[in-house]
Amino acid sequence: MKIRHFLVASLLIGMGLTCMTYSANSFERETIMTFGKTFFQIGMMVICPVVLLICLYLMFYYKNK
């Protein structure tokens, strides 16, 4: 897959997470600050494992080289 495909997939995933988070917060009649806090927490749950996997990949890649 080309980098363009990964960018489009990431954009669609981000848009989906944003819509689901906003919908859930609107259903409970929460403020926009609650939306930001919830979206940040979801983002960290997604980004942390990705960064860890990238670090592990690079570590094994350069170790075997």
Residue 44, both tokens: 């960290």
Is pTM beyond 0.75? Reply is no
pLDDT at residue 19 in the model = 81
pLDDT at residue 42 in the model = 80
pLDDT at residue 47 in the model = 85
Residue 1 has pLDDT above 70, yes or no: no
The DSSP secondary structure of 1-65, one letter per residue, reads: --HHHHHHHHHHHHHHHHHHHHHHHHHTT--HHHHHHHHHHHHHHHHHHHHHHHHHHHHHHHHH-
Alpha carbon distance 35, 26 (integer Å): 9
Alpha carbon distance 15, 21 (integer Å): 10
- List pLDDT tens digits, range 2-61: 778 888 888 888 888 888 777 777 776 777 777 778 778 888 888 888 888 888 888 888
